[in-house]
Amino acid sequence: MADYAQKLIAGNPSLGQRITVIKGKVEDVELPEKADILISEPMGTLLINERMLESYVIARDRFLVPNGKMFPTVGRIHMAPFSDEYLFIEIANKSLFWQQQNYYGVDLTALHGTAFQGYFSQPVVDAFDPRLLVAPSISHVINFTTVKEEDLYEINIPLKFTASVGTRIHGLACWFDVLFDGSTVQRWLTTAPGAPTTHWYQLRCVLSQPIYIMQGQEITGHLHMIAHSAQSYTINLTLSAKMWGPGAEQGGILQTSSCKFDLKEPYYRMSQPQAYPIAQDQQPNQDLKHPSLADFVQQSSNDSDVQIL
């Protein structure tokens, strides 16, 4: 990148009078003076993947003048529970291969459980219809001007939602946005579902065991992300449904589902938002009715345009 930038500058003499290229890692390089503005693209999937934010913070501490500008300035991770029967079935079906008891004379079933958990350990990267969200989103803010490098080693986000519909929750959907806070103008770059799709898409952590919720029911849990040496994060997600209705004040947790994901090894589904049938396209004040696996298989066998993988 530095070499190509130097070629561009050489081809534009007016730029060469104002730009000096210094090649090296921000952790190692030395600058002749402090910078007034720091510009970078440190965002990865779920904002934090690839752990580039740490280098961004190191560059701030080493090179930025007091009260200097950082672009981007602030990042926010947004989260909401979702219901997507078709995605759940798609992931679960991947492990069916390992249920064969006689694959050329080999019984594969000993690896079925491992394969099932392995597929569900992959976060799904794709663009999805925001109508699949079943509760208003919450957000976790990272202020790049003040966050410490060590704060990014482990991120623990408590989760609390109120269900807008009664349905099955299949996991947690996540996306991010970043603020470019200029002296006179603010600009947001968003990766939200329903907004123009970016190359970051959105990310969904799919639970191997969905939980059932009623409209108005409280959903709690936590999203715990721990940095690892492969320049990414291990994600631990837990979602729980609390008792709802009469007697709820005396009740505790009804259902809990947890999964562990490796942000470094996602399932790049990267489809555009899919047109779901009416069963998944209800208004927020209506109950969602999802087909069972048997219904899906029966429908697929009668539909030449649908394949079961």
Please state, for a pLDDT cut of 90, what percent of the chain lies above it. Answer: 82
Return d(Cα 190, Cα 187) in angstroms, integer.
Answer: 10
Q: Is 149 a residue of the active site?
A: no
Catalytic pick from 27, 30, 33, 41?
41
Q: Model confidence over 208-222: pLDDT tens digits?
A: 999 999 999 999 999
**pLDDT bucket at 272, cuts 50 / 70 / 90:** low
Q: Is 50 a residue of the active site?
A: yes
Kindly report the pTM of this predicted structure. 0.84
Q: Model confidence over 124-142: pLDDT tens digits?
A: 999 999 999 999 999 999 9
Q: Model confidence over 176-205: pLDDT tens digits?
A: 999 999 999 999 999 999 999 999 999 999
Catalytic pick from 27, 30, 33, 50?
50
